[in-house]
Amino acid sequence: MWYNLVMTEEKLSKMPQSVKVTLWSYDTDRLDLEKSGRTVIGQVLNYGSTEAWDWLFSYYGRDRVREEAARVPKGAWNKPSLALWSLVLDIQPKERSEWMKISSATS
């Protein structure tokens, strides 16, 4: 499948323009890809091209993409992207209020 592409370490470390355009409100040169993984994953899955998706899955791996995508609140998704990625990743994002309950219960 397209998310199993193998990319070199050098290519992965450089965020392609196709990913940067999905992060229009962030300074991508200063963005920590590990700490901001959920934001990057959510934005790329919502607004990215197939090239951006390829990079995303190669950089983070399918398991992390699935885990983080499931934590993106339902209201942060656009409807077509939510429909697609819910099927592809077998996820059911929750409403923000549900995550607040889960977070406070585990604290």
pLDDT in tens, 39-75: 999 999 999 999 999 999 999 999 999 999 999 999 9
Please say if the pLDDT value at position 37 is more than 90: yes
What confidence score (pLDDT) does residue 52 get?
97
Q: Identify the pLDDT of residue 2.
A: 43
0.85 exceeded by pTM: no
pLDDT tens for each residue of 1-23: 444 444 444 445 689 999 999 99
**How many alpha carbons fall within 13 Å on the CB side of residue 69?**
28
Q: Would you state the pLDDT for residue 4?
A: 41
Short-list 86, 90, 68, CA closest to 78? 86
Query: Is-contact 65 41, C-beta < 8 A?
Result: yes
